[in-house]
């Protein structure tokens, strides 16, 4: 069953940035805080500033650019040109093409598809669905250093930094080939769903999520075993995915339903669905702002999805009706939110992540639990029970008086003390407990 769309209360804002024709690939440049978008239909790359969400540059490249990979070691973006069988290398310092890597002879119809950067080797892996190969480009020389034969119709690929391996989806074989970057050879082949079009690496769980476009599912592959650990049903044709390491959320592009499914890696379940533009293709996550950028091939836009907020509901029992109580919720950086309530619930809206909470006593009613931690990846709730303070036995009466010219009534903790004048000069006070005591 499909998860309901996120409501406005969850603070998921969507903005659409107009780019070139038929935007397809997208990559985030962490050094510049910019997003590079390949426009398949207009043979150029749009550069979006994450600070303003506006296009700040347009760069001509080869024919039908299909994907992009950011090389953090060189400050360059490698763009695969599906129609011209080459790779354009863009410098992010001046937004110009500084090299063009030819991947085959003219007319070879390699149909370059995916690209990913291997930070361990300083290399870029480019899949060619027309030749069933993956080309390895050295970023030191901008030349091909190896061509690796893989299975049928290689599509999107992703790099696993922990294992030094590349996971390549094979659209024509419903499989994923695992390549070792130390040998540039296939070390294992895994059966997944139909037409694995994209992949994302989950650094928090050391897993690879592969989107199966035609079987409406996502395969979760453990990099420890090289086997499918779970299969997540997702309707709408999942085409690509990106991972948010701060929240443990995966953002899956639903190509056929113009939406993005949000998956929690703790449960492998869809926790929200977010509408985007028409014909979404690929997405990229910006860890600096918590935003996800989605290319919309039909509408010629990029949807900017802000980090979703989930409601955390604290429910109390035990307090007298109308009593005030407080919840203090803090994230791992020590930033706190405070909710004040005089009812049965206190609700806070928070981004996914790990939090600690503190609930102070209310009129000496002690909370249980009074503190703890919560891992949030979906709407969550916490029950809080307040225990009444100790009260005097019903057979004991309390009397208090003060000797002055005033009569006072004091109320504390639900116990009423009546302070009365007994006469006489000066001021005296006394408290009695039980008959005849003073």
Tell me the average pLDDT across 12-40. 93
Q: What pLDDT, on a 0 to 100 scale, did the predictor assign at position 307? A: 85
- 252 CB-side CA count, 13 A: 39
> Distance between CA atoms of 182 and 123, rounded to whole angstroms?
11
Please check whether residue 90 is in contact with residue 32, taking contact to mean a CB–CB distance below 8 angstroms.
Answer: no
CA distance 53 to 30: 15
Cis peptide before 22 (omega within 30 of 0): no
Q: With bands split at pLDDT 50, 70 and 90, how would you rate the model's confidence at 152?
A: very high
DSSP character for 436? T
**SS3 of residue 328 by DSSP:** strand
Binning pLDDT at 50, 70 and 90, where does residue 12 land?
Answer: low
**Rounded distance, CA 333 to CA 249, Å?**
19
What tens digit of pLDDT does each residue of 226-256 get? 999 999 999 889 999 999 998 899 999 999 9
Q: Name the residue with tokens 């950011």.
A: 70
Q: What is the DSSP letter of 352?
A: S
Tally of CB atoms within 10 A around 224:
12
Q: Which domains does the chain have, with CATH numbers?
A: 8-306 (2.130.10.10), 311-387 (2.60.40.1120), 398-433 (no CATH)
pLDDT score recorded for residue 8: 38
Asked if residue 394 has pLDDT above 50, the reply is no
pLDDT at 284 over 60: yes
CB under 8 Å, gap of 24 or more: what pairs does 402-409 form? Answer: 402/427, 402/428, 402/429, 403/427, 403/428, 403/429
Residue 81: half-sphere exposure toward Cβ, Cα within 13 Å: 22
Sign of the dihedral through C-alpha 65, 261, 332, 330: positive
CA distance 243 to 287: 10
Mean local confidence (pLDDT), 180-190: 96
Q: What is the pTM of this model?
A: 0.83
d(CA 347, CA 69): 41
The radius of gyration of the chain's CA atoms, rounded to the nearest angstrom, is 31
Q: What is the pLDDT of residues 61-72, one digit of tens each?
A: 999 999 999 999
Q: Using CA atoms, how far apart are residues 318 and 366, in angstroms rounded to an integer?
A: 10
Other C-beta atoms closer than 10 Å to the C-beta of 41 total 14
């Amino acid at each position: 069953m499909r998860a309901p769309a996120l409501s406005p209360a969850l603070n998921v804002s969507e903005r659409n940035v107009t780019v070139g024709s038929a935007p397809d690939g997208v990559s985030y440049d962490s050094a510049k805080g910019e997003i590079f978008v390949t426009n398949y239909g207009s043979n150029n790359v749009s550069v979006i500033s994450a600070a303003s969400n506006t296009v700040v540059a347009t760069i001509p490249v080869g024919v039908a650019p299909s994907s992009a990979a950011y090389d953090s070691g060189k400050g360059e973006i490698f763009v695969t040109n599906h129609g011209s069988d080459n790779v354009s290398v863009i410098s992010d310092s001046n937004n110009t093409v500084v090299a063009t890597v030819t991947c085959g002879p003219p007319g070879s119809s390699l149909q370059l598809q995916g690209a990913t950067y291997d930070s361990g080797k300083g290399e870029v892996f480019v899949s060619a669905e027309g030749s069933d190969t993956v080309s390895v480009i050295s970023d030191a020389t901008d030349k091909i250093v190896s061509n690796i034969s893989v299975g049928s119709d290689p599509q999107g690929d992703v790099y696993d930094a922990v294992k030094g391996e590349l996971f390549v989806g094979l659209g024509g074989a419903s499989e994923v080939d695992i390549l070792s970057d130390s040998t540039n050879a296939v070390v294992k082949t895994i059966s997944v769903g139909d037409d694995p079009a994209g992949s994302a690496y989950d650094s928090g769980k050391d897993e690879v999520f592969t989107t199966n476009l035609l079987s409406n599912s996502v395969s979760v592959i453990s990099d420890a075993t090289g086997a499918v650990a779970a299969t997540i049903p997702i309707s709408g044709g999942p085409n690509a995915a990106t991972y948010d390491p701060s929240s443990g959320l995966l953002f899956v592009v639903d190509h056929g339903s113009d939406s993005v499914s949000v998956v929690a890696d703790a449960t492998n379940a869809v926790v929200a669905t977010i509408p985007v533009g028409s014909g979404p293709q690929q997405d990229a996550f910006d860890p600096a702002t918590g935003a996800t950028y989605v290319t919309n091939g039909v509408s010629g836009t990029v949807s900017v999805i802000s980090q979703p907020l989930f409601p955390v509901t604290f429910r109390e029992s035990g307090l007298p009706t109308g009593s005030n109580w407080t919840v203090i919720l803090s994230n791992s950086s020590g930033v706190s939110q405070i909710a004040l309530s005089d009812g049965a619930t206190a609700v806070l809206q928070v981004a996914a992540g790990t939090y600690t909470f503190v609930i102070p006593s209310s009129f000496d009613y002690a909370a249980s639990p009074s503190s703890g931690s919560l891992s949030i990846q979906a709407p969550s709730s916490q029950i809080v029970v307040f225990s009444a303070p100790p009260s005097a036995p019903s057979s004991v009466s309390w009397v208090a008086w003060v000797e002055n010219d005033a009569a006072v009534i004091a109320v504390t903790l639900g116990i009423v003390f009546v302070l009365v004048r007994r006469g006489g000069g000066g001021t005296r006070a006394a408290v009695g407990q039980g008959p005849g005591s003073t």
